[in-house]
């Protein structure tokens, strides 16, 4: 019955399924070039449009990527393992390390876009920070690039009354980052809440993260709280879902 169902699929989907299976079986590994349109036309006796649609299915699924003038290649996948609990431990940023340090291992991470500005607090952010909507807050926007590929765009909102005129407004906040500086200012974050959802990206998000067609984004909104329960930062992050594994480990 399964074979009969497969035979009822359009030809381009059957070709895509065969290529997908070949990738899963290891016939084509990360970085390998797939058969091109002419190869598929000859092998399956189909029109060019059918061959192009088959390759397009795999591109939409994020399995392969097209390189202009070179062909279609299996995507390399070395995910960032984002360990949600230990990365926020004060044992990390409190000792001067970046919260990224445990995620990237030996890989090269750079911030290639950075903006520090004052902006009116959007409604949802104002509510989380406990300030009136539209009140000026300090905003840090960063794009993170790992091994030459954009993987995350982050926008942090902080109450102006806490951070105005401090090194948090500098491009480089120093060892341990924003949380270490907040601690020095007497507003140590001790509790964090992250809300996670996923959706397809906007055009701006797809361009900003250089996303392959069909790649969703993961949205993480993190709020940092002091021991008194005051929210001192709201960080809205947009992640390339194809670049991440989100790991959370808890003891019951």
> Domain residue spans in the chain?
2-74, 80-247
User: What CATH superfamily is the domain 80-247?
Assistant: Chorismate lyase-like (3.40.1410.10)
pTM over 0.85: no
pLDDT at 4: 53
- CATH 3.40.50.300 correct for 2-74: no
Q: How far apart are the first and last CA of the chain?
A: 44
pLDDT at 120: 96
Q: Give tens-digit pLDDT for 142-151.
A: 999 998 889 9
């Amino acid at each position: 019955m399964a074979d009969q169902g497969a035979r009822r699929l359009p030809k381009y989907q059957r070709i895509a399924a065969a290529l997908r299976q070949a990738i899963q079986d290891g016939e084509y590994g990360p970085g390998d070039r797939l058969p091109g349109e002419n190869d598929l036309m000859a092998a399956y006796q189909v029109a060019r449009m059918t061959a192009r649609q088959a390759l397009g299915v795999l591109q939409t699924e994020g399995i392969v990527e097209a390189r202009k003038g070179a062909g279609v290649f299996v995507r390399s996948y070395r995910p960032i393992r984002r360990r949600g609990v230990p990365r926020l431990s004060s044992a990390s940023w409190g000792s001067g390390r970046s919260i990224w340090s445990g995620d990237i291992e030996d890989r090269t991470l750079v911030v290639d876009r950075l903006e520090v500005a004052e902006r009116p607090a959007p409604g949802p952010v104002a509510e989380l920070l406990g300030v009136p909507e539209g009140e000026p807050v300090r905003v840090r926007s960063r794009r993170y690039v790992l091994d030459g590929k954009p993987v995350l765009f982050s926008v942090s909102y902080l109450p102006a009354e806490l951070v105005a005129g401090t090194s948090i407004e500098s491009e480089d906040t120093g060892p341990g980052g924003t949380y270490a500086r907040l601690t020095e200012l007497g507003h140590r974050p001790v509790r964090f809440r992250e809300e996670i959802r996923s959706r397809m990206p906007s055009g701006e998000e797809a361009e900003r993260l250089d996303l392959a067609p069909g790649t969703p984004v993961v949205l993480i909104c993190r709020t940092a709280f002091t021991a008194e329960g005051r929210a001192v930062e709201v960080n809205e992050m947009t992640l390339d879902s194809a670049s991440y594994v989100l790991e959370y480990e808890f003891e019951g």
